[in-house]
Amino acid sequence: MLLVPDISIIIPTLNEERVLPLTLSHLQNLRGQQVEIIVVDGGSTDNTTLCTEGLVDRLVFSKAGRAAQLNKGAQVAQGQLLLFLHADTLVPKQLVQLLNQLLIKKRSHVWGRFNVKLDGEHFLFRIIETMMNGRSCFTGIVTGDHAMFVSRKLFKQVDGYPAIELMEDIAISKKLKRINRPICIKQAVVTSSRRWEQAGIINTIFKMWLFRLAYLFKVPPAILAKKY
């Protein structure tokens, strides 16, 4: 008899062969704990899909774009709780226990995020982490770095991620927090600091806030995506 998973971990990918193997290997001990792993590929031209062999429960394909890929993963997911995870992010060891406790207490209308820790050693990353975690919990806006989780029932209630090219995490957070405030789990997921290191820490911070302000002032996500 097959057990229906409690948790579905959904990972969108596009040319992530460098980071995906570590993320998937880190998740393998969860697969015997009623957790399924779903990778949704958006058309990778490298060896990303080969990296999933024997390490995921489902490999599905979608048009490129985080919103489209995450919605596709949610469509095939069987778990009561959906966890949306970046391809370069490692979850805490006690993930299952933490999320199952929430399922028992909150049942069908739970959503939230983990604290985030960047893997870079520069002291500015410690400041960035603190600011990201504080902002997210205070505003109720959850971005992908924080590994958003949401019950499948609640995800369907808000019609999933809006079909926009960028800022989909902010958009769905606004819908979800009208129903419930997010639960802020203090245990951290560890995510790569590569984008800050490649583009420069200060430049990346400035760029991220500039895009957020533009979205706040109603600049269409399609225009922002072209400039991203």
Express each pLDDT in 94-108 by its tens digit. Answer: 999 999 888 776 667
Examine residue 19 and state whether it is found in any structural domain, yes or no. Answer: yes
Residue 228 banded pLDDT, cuts 50, 70, 90: low
Read off the CATH number of the domain in which 74 is found.
3.90.550.10
Provide the 10 A C-beta neighbour count for residue 135.
Answer: 11
Average pLDDT for the chain: 91
CA 59 – CA 81 distance, rounded (Å):
19
Examine residue 2 and state whether it is found in any structural domain, yes or no. Answer: no
Examine residue 202 and state whether it is found in any structural domain, yes or no. Answer: no
- Mean pLDDT, residues 164-182 taken together: 93
Question: Could you report the per-residue pLDDT of 177-200, keeping only the tens digit for each?
Answer: 999 999 999 999 999 988 888 878
Examine residue 80 and state whether it is found in any structural domain, yes or no. Answer: yes
Examine residue 225 and state whether it is found in any structural domain, yes or no. Answer: no
Examine residue 45 and state whether it is found in any structural domain, yes or no. Answer: yes
CA 223 – CA 220 distance, rounded (Å):
6
Domain count, the chain: 1
Residue 200 has a pLDDT of: 84
Q: Is the pTM of this model over 0.85?
A: yes
In one-letter notation, the amino acid at residue 21 is: P
- Measured in residues, the chain has a length of 228
Residue 12 banded pLDDT, cuts 50, 70, 90: very high
Task: Give the chain's end-to-end CA distance (angstroms, integer).
Answer: 47
Closest CA to 10 of 155, 213, 147: 147
Which residue has tokens 């922002």? 224
Residue 154 banded pLDDT, cuts 50, 70, 90: very high
Tokens of 66: 């985080």
Examine residue 209 and state whether it is found in any structural domain, yes or no. Answer: no
Supply the range of the domain harboring residue 97: 7-193
Helix (H, G, I), strand (E, B) or coil at 17: coil
Examine residue 218 and state whether it is found in any structural domain, yes or no. Answer: no
